[in-house]
Amino acid sequence: MNLDLNNKVFIVTGGAKGIGAAISKTLAAEGAIVMIAGRGKADNARVVDEIVKSKGRASDQTVELVNADACKELVQFTMEKYGRIDGLINNAGVNDSIDLEHGSPEKFVQSLQKNLLHYYNLAHFALPYLKKSKGVIINIGSKVAETGQGHTSGYAAAKGGVNALTREWAAELLPYSIRVNAVIPAEVWTPLYENWINSLPDPKTKLEQIVSKIPFEKRFTTSEEIADMVVFLASGRSSHTTGQIIYVDGGYTHLDRSLS
């Protein structure tokens, strides 16, 4: 299927690791131009190099997204380099375990800054250019917004906000033909997830417990499966899809627990 993404420009936050890296590579494989944004200069450069070696097009900007001015500069840098923005993929964030009992008001606000506020800031600054391109915004959320997890109030609140903003922006931006959707992962096998598993006292048993609760095929979702949905939503092949919160999770969030 031709997704008709040739020469379209997408900003991907956190686009050099895990799900973000898969999104960046899949967009580039479809002919899009990718601006990878994240705080890890070496990681950004590595993924850009991989894309270029595969005959794709990408560049990067090292940026601390909790800074609103840095978000504005990222948008301006992209416009100066490419002259257009066709899509914003809000992906960067971290499950930082800021909980109710042992956290603090200050840490809670910091968690919102890391996981939610830059979604708004980037969308705000990119909006004039997305109006011109009739572009797309795709927000990466988390099943935690719906299921809860325990001991991660900041992250849960932020991801709940992501879902709410997805539908709010979809409604607000209807007059500009800008589509806004969210993709929700649950258990995705990434290097960060692997590091967490290996830090536990009995990684093998914990891994088996988690996998047993994933209804479809009793396996983790791959980063590439998340990326495939994101890239489809970024394309004209999903031209009448907006305001949707789409779960790519092997049925983890919504199917009856008796199935697992």
Q: Is-above-0.85 flag for pTM?
A: yes
Catalytic residues: 155
Q: What is the dihedral of CA 234, 254, 202, 149, to 10 degrees?
A: 90
Residue type, position 48, single letter: V
To the question of domain 9-188+221-259 being in CATH 3.40.50.720, the answer is: yes
> Cα-atom radius of gyration of the chain, to the nearest Å?
18
Query: What angle is formed at CA 136 by the lines to CA 73 and CA 178, rounded to 5 degrees?
Result: 110
Q: What are phi and psi of 96, to 5 degrees?
A: -100, 5
pLDDT in tens, the chain (260 residues): 789 999 999 999 999 999 999 999 999 999 999 999 999 999 999 999 999 999 999 999 999 999 999 999 999 999 999 999 999 999 999 999 999 999 999 999 999 999 999 999 999 999 999 999 999 999 999 999 999 999 999 999 999 999 999 999 999 999 999 999 999 999 999 988 899 899 999 999 999 999 999 999 999 999 999 999 999 999 999 999 999 999 999 999 999 888 88
